[in-house]
Amino acid sequence: MTSELFSPLTLRSGQVLKNRIAKAAMEENMAGAGQLPDRHLLSLYRHWAAGGTGLLITGNVMVHAEALTGPAGVVLDEHAPLEPFAEWAKAGKSGGGAIWMQINHPGRQVASDMPGVVWGPTDIGVSLGKHSSRFGRPTAMTPQQIADTVTRYAVTARRAEEAGFDGVEVHAAHGYLLSQFLSPLVNKRTDRWGGSLENRARMLLDIVRAVRAAVSPSFAVAVKLNSADFQRGGFGADDARQVIEMLAPLGVDLVELSGGSYESPAMTGRPADDRTQAREAYFLDLAKDLVTTSPLPLMLTGGITRRATADRVLDSGVSVIGMGTALAVTPDLPDRWRQGREADRQMRPVTWSDKALASAAGMAQVRHQMRRLARGSSPRPGTHPAVALISERRRQRRALRSYRAWLSTSRPVV
């Protein structure tokens, strides 16, 4: 075995993860007043911190107040007060593990009823058939908007360190802005940010350089990258290999591999590609290939629920295993594994034929469990996906009213 699940991992920055198990980012959509973390998020992260993970990675924290993946998104920009984030960092570290903040910009993946901006590398919108109108129509970013966005990532990273977080993860997967720039299907630019892979990766590389320059050498910087987009002609495994090589000289500690986007939601286990149809470790085949050439430690996320699967992933040469849904249902799963036990429940599967709706319902189910944990209740993984989805949409409508009011009174228009 190349590395044991409960052995420590020393990263380039000198940071030491106490074991190889990470709580991967799941978008909580639980921001309180002012788009800030509140007692519910703190309670949720204390639960996870007590469960034995070596690393907690937060859900999306948005770098641009006018560009959110959802109305209950957390925003950390130059104007946000730091104290709520300091409390969040403290809660995440309360079990002796590390906590990293995932930082993100949605680009074109913004709901059509959201205020603010919908940006992309080009004006190509999200294509979801009859559901396409759920997303806003993007405008192509100007060079100045690209430069300002690079700065926003660096500001958020610097402030995350000031708040006490141990690292940041730059989200360049799942069809969000940086993933859009990497995709030849979405990025049809003809300037220095389009065309060749080097050009399409330029914004990501500039952000990583800016983030690394804004934080201490001992602060971890990670990147979440698609192993593949699972769309014909899209970003593929060979592209991922090359981008990892481009990231290696820039002081990156870890690359997390995932896959898919809203258009092809492989990350929820319903991909368009047969290679990921395995019930667990959706992206292991691709990771096995990438790990042979990767100059950076890799983390693999997607469908891992059992110790045997986690061990198999580590045996492949992957350095860290990431779990999302499994820890929303069983927050103490790492401690159970240490004691030779497994989870005693699983999330109710979503078997709907409408891929986009099934993906949304699956994510709603996970958030339903997270809210229960945050309230101090036990998870209820048998909740019907339709019930979770309807409840989620009601919450989103309330959150949208709050976000509109906050944005109109609290943030300068940029």
96-114 pLDDT tens trace: 999 999 999 999 999 999 9
Q: What is the pLDDT of residue 361?
A: 92
Q: Radius of gyration of the chain from Cα atoms?
A: 19
Strand pairing partners for 331?
none
First to last CA, the chain: 52
Answer whether 16's CB lies under 8 Å from 46's CB.
no
Which among 197, 295, 304, 288 has a CA at the least distance from the CA of 255? 295
CA 284 to chain centre: 18
Which residue has tokens 């809660």? 91
Residue 259 neighbours by CB under 8 Å, 6+ apart:
173, 226, 227, 228, 229, 230, 266, 267, 271, 276, 282, 283, 286, 302
Q: What residue segments make up the domains of the chain, in order of their start?
A: 9-342
User: Which residues, at least 6 apart from 278, have a Cβ–Cβ distance to it below 8 Å?
Assistant: 284, 285, 303
Regions of the chain short of the pLDDT cut 50? 1-2, 266, 268-279
The region that residue 135 occupies, defined by phi over 0 for left and psi between -120 and 50 for alpha, beta otherwise, is beta
Instruction: Tell me what pLDDT residue 260 has.
Output: 61
- CA dist., res. 367 & res. 325, Å (int): 9
Q: Which pLDDT value is given to residue 275?
A: 42
Structure tokens, 78: 């130059």
Determine the pLDDT at residue 383.
93
pLDDT of residue 127: 78
Rounded Cα distance, 108 and 92, in Å: 30
CA 349 – CA 326 distance, rounded (Å): 13
Q: How far is CA 251 from CA 158, 221, 247, 283, in A?
A: 15, 7, 8, 25
pTM over 0.85: yes
What integer pLDDT is reported at residue 284 of this predicted model? Answer: 80
Q: Residue 320 and residue 306: Cα distance in Å, rounded?
A: 15
The CATH number corresponding to 9-342 among 3.40.50.720, 3.20.20.70, 3.40.190.10, 3.40.50.10480 equals 3.20.20.70
